[in-house]
Amino acid sequence: MDLTRKQFDILVALSEAKKMRSQRELEKETGYSLGTVNKTIKELTENGLVADGSITSAGLTALEPYRAKRAIFIAAGFGSRLVPITFNTPKPLVRVHGVRIIDHLIDACLAAGINEIYIVRGYLAEQFDQLLYKYPMIRFLENPVYNEANNISSSLVARYMLSNAYVFEADLLLSNPKIIRKYHYTSDFLGIKKQRSDDWCFRVKDGIIVEQNVGGEGDDIWQMVGISYWNEADGHRLSADIPDVYQSPGGKERYWEQVPLRYRKEHYSVEICECTDEDIVEIDTFKELKAIDKTYDI
Calculate mean pLDDT across residues 159-167. Answer: 97
What is the location of CATH 1.10.10.10 in the chain? 5-65
Is residue 146 within 8 Å of residue 79, measured between CB atoms? no
Q: What's the half-sphere exposure (Cβ side, CA atoms, 13 Å) at 219?
A: 2
Residue type at 261 in one-letter notation: L
- For the 67-296 domain, the top CATH level (class) is alpha beta
The answer on pLDDT for 192 being more than 70 is yes
Among 84, 61, 35, 287, which residue's Cα sits nearest to residue 43? 35
What is the location of CATH 3.90.550.10 in the chain? 67-296
Q: Which range, of 44-58, 73-87, 106-120, 247-261, averages the lowest pLDDT? A: 73-87
Exposure string (b/e) for 237-248, b if CB count within 10 Å is 16 or more? bbbebbbebbee
Instruction: Supply the pLDDT for residue 285.
Output: 84
Instruction: Quote the radius of gyration of the chain (alpha carbons, Å).
Output: 20
Instruction: Supply the pLDDT for residue 50.
Output: 92
- Binned at pLDDT 50, 70 and 90, residue 18 comes out as low
Among residues of the chain, what percentage have pLDDT more than 70? 99
Calculate mean pLDDT across residues 161-183. Answer: 96
- Tell me the CA end-to-end span of the chain in Å, nearest whole number: 59
Instruction: Supply the pLDDT for residue 293.
Output: 86
In terms of pLDDT, which residue wins out, 24 or 160?
160
CATH of domain 5-65: 1.10.10.10
The answer on pLDDT for 62 being more than 80 is yes
Among 178, 177, 225, 228, which residue's Cα sits nearest to residue 12? 178
- Binned at pLDDT 50, 70 and 90, residue 139 comes out as very high
Quick: pLDDT tens for 26-54. 888 888 999 999 999 999 999 999 998 88
The answer on pLDDT for 294 being more than 90 is no
Among 71, 59, 47, 46, which residue's Cα sits nearest to residue 13? 59
Instruction: Supply the pLDDT for residue 274.
Output: 95
The answer on pLDDT for 1 being more than 80 is no
The answer on pLDDT for 86 being more than 80 is no
Distance CA 247, CA 109 (A): 32
